[in-house]
Amino acid sequence: MQSPPAPALRSFIDVAPDSHFPIQNLPYGIFIPQPGELPRVGVAIGEYVLDLAVLAERGLLDGPQLRGQRVFDQETLNAFIALGPAAWNEARAQITHVLRHDVALLRDDVALRDMALIPQTAVELCRPVRPGGFTDFYASREHAETVGRLFRGPEAKLPPQYLHLPIGYHGRTSSIVVSGAPIVRPTGQFLPADATAPTCGPSRQLDFELEVGVFVGRGNAQGRPIPMNRAPNQMFGLVLVNDWSARDIQAWEYVPLGPFLGKNFATTISPWVVPLAALEPFRCEAPRQDPPPLPYLQTRGPQTWNLHLEVRLQAAGAAAPTTISRTNFRGMYWTLIQQLVHHTVGGCNLEPGDLLASGTVSGSAPDARGCLLELTERGTRPLQLAPGITRTWLDDGDTVTLTGWCAGDGYRVGFGECRGSITAAAPHEA
């Protein structure tokens, strides 16, 4: 696959070639400039945050779609998302213009620059969106086949519906946190090995899951499904997602209704939402689907992205992290657009800012698996991280960092980091 051409655009801000945030990206986020100040909307550019509330106050974000809309001095992106694609495109065009290397508007106004451009290291990044709904899918065929083999043996087959529809379940929104928030080890019921009765206590098999999520745009009315030809306009932007899992709790509880306490304790998302416009040059074909899906799920042309993903695990006490997984999002059997369409086929109403997550992103190679369940063969093959340090499941003090980017010729469009560190379980009274 050929890389997209070298970028024609340049910002007046110096941006390193390996930065995730060149002018071609411009991801949205929510940040607090200084302690005590209110959150507002920003865009990442190089090592800086561009304060969109300041630009809006100066009339620099004032096209016909944005005029009179107070969407950039908000504590979430929800109001901006609800404006729809025309407003998103207008904002992106105006932000790009003021950041161009050959435009003096912001470049030569020292006072405005000092107000509007803040080092990322000086701000607090917040959860960018308040999702009203969260749905987690099971879209990697490689992941589904490996999990089947680990739990049901080498002859295990995919669920009978797997090749016909994207399987998913409804998750919990209140426990969605932004990168950097601590992850408290969950407590719940599980059945210890060789036991005949369950116990309740801190999970002994805590795991991460490498996923990609999409925030829904304006949404749809209840009872009015979103067809395939209108689905792309219902996708605002993508984030990295770590949908942490307590495998022992999950294994005990998930039959017959699926995940509950094994998944609802925490989901971490990256702070920057990469708009679909930034990912457009990296569109590619998804895997061939056989048998072909039913007509409402059939797609044409490139419907996914050549998105490189990595997982780094820094064990408690280790001097540095170890990269334990490298994979690519383009291998997912079911695409995000198919997931969105299927979600609404029965009439479900999606709302601005709802989050749909892909499920674990895993490839066929042993080092391309997106969770410890697969990487350690259900805890039977410990990972060697450093001399004397191995892991089968996550220990207290461990830090997991997800990262990902699309690579062009001399630039990247990336997601930054999605990071979480494990802390000890909260005290539990019987």
The rounded distance, in Å, linking the Cα atoms of 360 and 370 is 6
The two structure tokens encoding residue 383: 């990972």
The rounded distance, in Å, linking the Cα atoms of 236 and 277 is 9
The rounded radius of gyration (Å) of the Cα atoms in the chain is 22
Task: Give phi and psi for 285, each to the nearest 5.
Answer: -75, 145
The rounded distance, in Å, linking the Cα atoms of 82 and 351 is 8
The single residue of 20, 101, 143, 164 carrying the catalytic annotation is: 143
Alpha-carbon torsion angle 198, 200, 203, 209, nearest 10:
70
Q: Is 143 a catalytic residue?
A: yes
Task: Give phi and psi for 57, each to the nearest 5.
Answer: -60, -30
Q: Which residues of 243-268 are buried (b: 16+ CB within 10 A; e: fewer)?
A: bbbbbbbbbbbeeeeebebbbbbbbb
Could you tell me which residues come within 8 angstroms of residue 49 by beta carbon, excluding any fewer than 6 positions away? 29, 31, 42, 43, 117, 118, 119, 120, 123
What are the catalytic residues? 143
